[in-house]
Amino acid sequence: MKSAEYILNKIKEVPDVAVILGSGLSRLADEVEEPLKIPYTEIPGFLKSTAPGHAGELIYGFVKDKKVLLMSGRFHTYEGYAPSDVAYPIKVMKKIGIDKLIVTNASGGIRTSYKPGDLVFIKDIINFSFRNPLRGPNDDSEGPRFPDMSQAFSREWIEKANKVVEEKFGSPLESGTYISVLGPSYETPSEIKMFRKLGADMVGMSTVHEVIVANHIGIKVLGISCITNMAAGVLDQPLSHKEVMEVGKMVSERFVSLVKAIIEETC
């Protein structure tokens, strides 16, 4: 795979963990020590990230003594990309030798006890995009034709991470189920009512295709969602991407501290 070869030639060593940074959560990239930045446009086979707030570059460096590879900007199906292309970087990570992945995202709060700025561990997903990145011929060398998704996010990792969070920040994070929609339009109040009945706690337009492929090829996943706004109909106000970015910036210091602690103690 040319993408993996190109990246390995740049970074030289296999990272301990990869992190995908969601909308408004890119500040972690500024905290990496000895950063090496690789624009997506330089990497063979990589797509272009067009979503606002997504820098479109890989960043390799250190968090204390841990080697990390950050995706500052992800791909989405609403940009016109196929689910398999959206999740292509996950396969590249596996080829590089990475076996742990932290996915982060910005989401709308469906559970009414949430408030903007809350950080939540993702315990499960609902793929409401009705698209699967594994559709088509299966490569048995990568993973099984019918991969198990009963533990899409590592319960063991969530438990370890929450112990770290409680020790360092005083209280553990809540866990919730993330439902992903195709986008790019925000959801209607009626759709949010339906999602709540389906068991969803937060909603967004990313993550699920990356997580499906990670499970297929044997990468352990931890998910963290930042509630950047309340979902449609929860509050009597319109939704905007500007609000998503502003809340992401507001919570960025806590988010960075939390993710760095998890990387240092559990990776």
Kindly report the three-state secondary structure assignment for every residue of 157-196: HHHHHHHHHHHHHCCCCEEEEEEECCCCCCCCHHHHHHHH
Strand, coil or helix: what is 62?
A: strand
Q: Are 105 and 209 in contact (CB under 8 A)?
A: no
Strand, coil or helix: what is 248?
A: helix
Average the pLDDT over 76-95 and give the result: 95
Active-site residue among 54, 161, 178, 215?
Answer: 54
pLDDT of residue 23: 67
Active-site residue among 4, 51, 106, 231?
Answer: 106
Is 206 known to be catalytic?
yes
Average the pLDDT over 127-140 and give the result: 96
Is 216 known to be catalytic?
no
Q: Which of 46-60, 196-210, 234-248 has the lowest mean pLDDT?
A: 234-248
Which is nearest to 57 in space by CA: 42, 34, 33, 38?
38
Summarize pLDDT for 28-75 with one digit per residue, the tens: 888 899 999 999 999 999 987 776 655 789 999 999 999 999 999 889
| Domain residue ranges of the chain, discontinuous segments joined by + | 2-266
Strand, coil or helix: what is 199?
A: coil
Residue type, 76: H
Check pLDDT > 70 for residue 109.
yes
pLDDT of residue 25: 75
Which is nearest to 20 in space by CA: 59, 48, 52, 77?
59
Task: Please give the backbone phi and psi of residue 146, each rounded to the nearest 5 degrees, phi first.
Answer: -120, 85
pTM: 0.93
Instruction: Give the domain 2-266 fold.
Output: Rossmann fold (3.40.50)
Is 209 known to be catalytic?
no
| Overall residue count recorded for the chain in this entry | 267
Average the pLDDT over 149-163 and give the result: 97
Burial class of 104 by CB neighbour count within 10 A (0 to 12, 13 to 18, 19+): buried
- How does residue 254 score in pLDDT terms, banded at 50, 70 and 90? confident
Is 76 known to be catalytic?
yes
Task: Please give the backbone phi and psi of residue 28, each rounded to the nearest 5 degrees, phi first.
Answer: -55, -30
Mean confidence (pLDDT) of the chain: 90
Active-site residue among 49, 206, 215, 225?
Answer: 206
Is 78 known to be catalytic?
yes
Q: Are 39 and 57 in contact (CB under 8 A)?
A: yes
